[in-house]
Amino acid sequence: MSAVALSDRTRRVLAALVREYIETGEPVASAALLPRVGLQVSSATIRNVLAQLEDMGYVWQPHTSAGRVPTDLGYRFYVDLLLESRRAARGASGVEARLRQEVGDQPLIDDLLSSTSHVLSETSRHVGFAIAPANENAVFHRIEFVPLTGSRILVVMVSRGNQVSQKTVDIGEGVGPSELGQAANYLNSEFGGRTLEEVRTGVRARLREERTLYDQLLGLALRLASQTLESMRGPATVHIEGASTLLEQVIAASGISPATLGALLRMVEEKQRLVRLLNEYIDGPGLTVVIGTEHSDPELRPFSLIASTYFDGTGTGTVGVIGPTRMKYSRAIAAVDIAAVAVARVLKDVN
């Protein structure tokens, strides 16, 4: 039976039970619910409602004499209730101001997302993460060639939004700063404002032209750009914060075994596993909540994930939190909502 088929009284009892369990971590008895549901009913009536909810799969009873605890279906009902009454993110200005203070008005995107993951972890008290838009969607801003010792050159590529990639290349011969400046100017004038994939395609095409055989400076510029662009191919950048906090609270209060926690910590270490999961879950802009058994990965079923997309002007990234299914969903949803808005605002100014 779906949550929409529940009577108003049953919905209020279930919502009160989930809130109480999230607060205390203890099975909730009918007597504890009576003053919290705001209904003029008896304790016996509450017990009957709880029995019905158990039959429907929204709650379960650890022991015969114990109260009830919510199932993942019960959590889903509660989260959907929160989302129904959700308002536009409030408090984004405060988080935006904090991010600007930490990373400046023209931040590198890696610094911004690192700070964002920290803010999310601190606010939600769970694992916070922030993922950059895919490189292919980034827009080329400029390239610089910096001579090092001998024939080595530092190639610095800046995408719109201050996303910086660096690569050291040994070209086998010494080239002066003036020639390197001309090579960089050529690439910047030819490709500025295009996506990295468009730049990559254009560079390949020009490397095949006969002109590069007799124009050494042009050939050098294109080869350096090609090597740098190829090194930028790969997975999205992921910043994760708060694993140690989760370790403490899970073992202390959430009843999750160290082995299960280890599965989450492995995912934190294998960051691209999180990216793959999010690609599977997120099918559009906005908020996504995945609870317990809704996870496709069995190892993650003791946990819930809350994520929201943000747009940087050219591509879409993701921010979010991961924690036990018994999390304070209202606080976590608000934190993710606010972070997504704040990051988008900062990046809009940078772009």
Domain ranges of the chain: 3-71, 92-133+236-350, 136-232
- CATH for 136-232, options being 2.40.50.100, 3.40.630.30, 3.30.390.60, 3.40.50.300: 3.30.390.60
Confidence (pTM): 0.75
CATH class of 92-133+236-350: alpha beta
CATH class of 3-71: mainly alpha
Mean pLDDT of 173-197: 85
The CA-atom distances, in angstroms, between 169 and each of 158, 224, 226, 306 are: 17, 8, 11, 41
The CA-atom distances, in angstroms, between 268 and each of 143, 223, 271 are: 33, 36, 5
Assess whether pLDDT exceeds 70 at residue 257: no
DSSP character string of 66-108: S-BEE-HHHHHHHHHHHHHT--S--SHHHHHHHHHHHH-SS--
Measured in degrees and rounded to the nearest 5, phi and psi for residue 323 equal -160, 180
The per-residue pLDDT for 2 is: 45
The per-residue pLDDT for 245 is: 64
Q: For the chain, how big is the Rg over CA atoms in Å?
A: 26
Measured in degrees and rounded to the nearest 5, phi and psi for residue 138 equal -65, 150
Topology alike, domains 3-71 and 136-232: no
The band of 17, judged by pLDDT with boundaries at 50, 70 and 90, is: very high
Alpha-carbon span 286 to 265, nearest angstrom: 26
The per-residue pLDDT for 258 is: 67
Alpha-carbon span 55 to 72, nearest angstrom: 14
Assess whether pLDDT exceeds 60 at residue 25: yes
Sign for the CA dihedral angle at 270, 271, 276, 281 comes to: positive
Alpha-carbon span 259 to 139, nearest angstrom: 43
